[in-house]
Amino acid sequence: MAYAAFRSIGAYIPPKIMTNFDFEKIIDTTDEWITKRTGIKERRISEENEASSDLGAKAAQQAIERSGLAKEDIDLVICATVTPDYLCMPSTACLIASKINLPPVQAFDVSAACTGFVYAVSVAKAFIESGMKKNVLIVGAETYSSILDYTDRGTCFIFGDGAGAAIISASENKDEAIVDVNCSSDGNYDDLIKTPGGGSKHPCSQEVLDNKMACIKMKGNETFKLAVRTLTADVKVMMEKHNLTNKDINHFIPHQANMRIIKSVGDALGFNEEQTVVTIDKYGNTSAASIPMAMNYAYEQGKIKAGDSILFDAFGGGLTWGSALFPFAPLK
Ligand code: UT7
């Protein structure tokens, strides 16, 4: 059986910065309130002519270069996004594949909101272990600025734009194998985070436009409480299943939704500051891109080395949640 190895990480951080002070000018808020409640100081915003595939393609390019593989070696592209370039088709993964000049290749999107990248890891792992594919490019790419209602003071300051990408490859070495990925969902909580209009339930209409129903609506406080509970329980199950303690994990990389969530979950699980990767202050919440952008940040800081054990933990709209446990296994 082939094992699935996590070979490389890359990201694209849009240069345009929107600070909390910029939000003070457009909604009734303060830098102090946002910082205290979320840990966010600033977030990145894509250019007007940039869509998720543009950000994703740049992150993908970097992940491929760092993997040491040739483009021709990639035999599957998966993009996790809930801000696709187009509502229905083509998929953002198809566009990324063509923008980075891959030869014809299987490509599709996964939709699991902020858990999307962890879902993509699980799909890549399954394709490789089944022997169907050898080198999978996974991308998390989001332009939340395109679905934010900049008059909604409870939600608009949280999210930002960006992309991250990784290569997952077949290996014969069990020590390199992704140990486990556990993903789940509960659609009974669909109302907590939702874009209510523009899909088949409420197709685009004047009402959808007037009420900004294609923008994200979030019940922040309820989501917050569920996030802390679910993320903590999810990691506990994963660690117990593999007989691990927090000391066995080099890098805990949680979804970057809120610094208070990261801290509560980290404290409950006993991860210290050194182990926990935090980028929420710089990038805000970039949904499916948040975990790979955070991993890339730690990698570029020189903190992630070959063989280090990494734990992803994500939570988002759906509701969806998931965790992934793996060693970093670069080829070079
Ligand atoms: O990534 C997917 C998962 N998403 C999440 O995990 C998001 C989780 N939720 C959160 O991060 C937090 O719930 C928020 C940051 C969105 C909000 O923080 P909160 O502590 O839950 O605030 P709240 O909604 O309970 O509101 C508390 C107060 C209210 O005022 P009163 O009623 O206490 O007088 C709000 O009106 O804060 C007020 N408020 C604001 N004040 C200044 C709400 N938004 C703002 C704002 N600036 N932007």
- Index of the ligand 1 atom closest to the CA of residue 290: 1
> Rounded to an integer, what distance in angstroms lies between the CA atom of residue 115 and that of residue 81?
10
Query: Which residues are known catalytic residues?
Result: 114, 255, 285
Quickly count: other Cβ atoms within 10 Å of residue 328's Cβ: 21
Eight-class DSSP state of 265: H
Mutate-to-test residue for ligand 1 from 35, 148, 221, highest number of ligand atoms within 8 A of CB: 221
pLDDT at position 219 over 80: yes
> Rounded to an integer, what distance in angstroms lies between the CA atom of residue 80 and that of residue 153?
27
CB 252 less than 6 A from any atom of ligand 1: no
> Rounded to an integer, what distance in angstroms lies between the CA atom of residue 106 and that of residue 239?
34
CB 101 less than 6 A from any atom of ligand 1: no
What pLDDT score does 209 carry? 96
- Vertex 321, ends 318 and 327: CA angle to 5°? 150
> Rounded to an integer, what distance in angstroms lies between the CA atom of residue 104 and that of residue 90?
14
- Index of the ligand 1 atom closest to the CA of residue 261: 6
CA separation, residue 44 to residues 39, 134, 145, 319 (Å): 15, 34, 9, 25
> Rounded to an integer, what distance in angstroms lies between the CA atom of residue 238 and that of residue 56?
29
CB 153 less than 6 A from any atom of ligand 1: yes
- Mean pLDDT in residue range 320-330: 98
The overall pTM is greater than 0.85? yes
> Rounded to an integer, what distance in angstroms lies between the CA atom of residue 224 and that of residue 169?
35
Each residue of 61-70: pLDDT tens digit?
999 999 999 9
CB 264 less than 6 A from any atom of ligand 1: no
Q: How far is the CA of 21 from the centre of ligand 1 (A)?
A: 17
> Rounded to an integer, what distance in angstroms lies between the CA atom of residue 283 and that of residue 119?
21
Mutate-to-test residue for ligand 1 from 159, 258, 279, highest number of ligand atoms within 8 A of CB: 258
pLDDT band at 1 (very low <50, low <70, confident <90, very high): confident
| Average per-residue pLDDT for the chain | 97
pLDDT at position 332 over 80: no
Each residue of 133-183: pLDDT tens digit?
999 999 999 999 999 999 999 999 999 999 999 999 999 999 999 999 999
For tokens 């007037």, the residue is 210
pLDDT band at 85 (very low <50, low <70, confident <90, very high): very high
CA-nearest residue for atom 37, ligand 1, is 154
Using a pLDDT cut of 90, give the percent of the chain over it. 99
| Cα dihedral sign, 109-112-117-123 | negative
Each residue of 104-147: pLDDT tens digit?
999 999 999 999 999 999 999 999 999 999 999 999 999 999 99
Q: How far is the CA of 310 from the centre of ligand 1 (A)?
A: 30
Alpha carbon 26 to its chain's center: 27
List of domains in the chain? 1-332 (3.40.47.10)
> Rounded to an integer, what distance in angstroms lies between the CA atom of residue 232 and that of residue 123?
23
- Mean pLDDT in residue range 16-37: 98
CA-nearest residue for atom 11, ligand 1, is 258
Quickly count: other Cβ atoms within 10 Å of residue 325's Cβ: 22
- Index of the ligand 1 atom closest to the CA of residue 153: 48
Alpha carbon 138 to its chain's center: 11
Coil, strand, or helix at residue 259? helix
3-state helix, strand, coil in the chain (%, to 5): 40, 25, 40
What pLDDT score does 142 carry? 98
Eight-class DSSP state of 100: T
Q: Please check whether residue 32 is in contact with residue 19, taking contact to mean a CB–CB distance below 8 angstroms.
A: no
pLDDT band at 20 (very low <50, low <70, confident <90, very high): very high
For tokens 């089944």, the residue is 130
CB 37 less than 6 A from any atom of ligand 1: yes
Q: How far is the CA of 142 from the centre of ligand 1 (A)?
A: 22
Q: Please check whether residue 159 is in contact with residue 316, taking contact to mean a CB–CB distance below 8 angstroms.
A: no
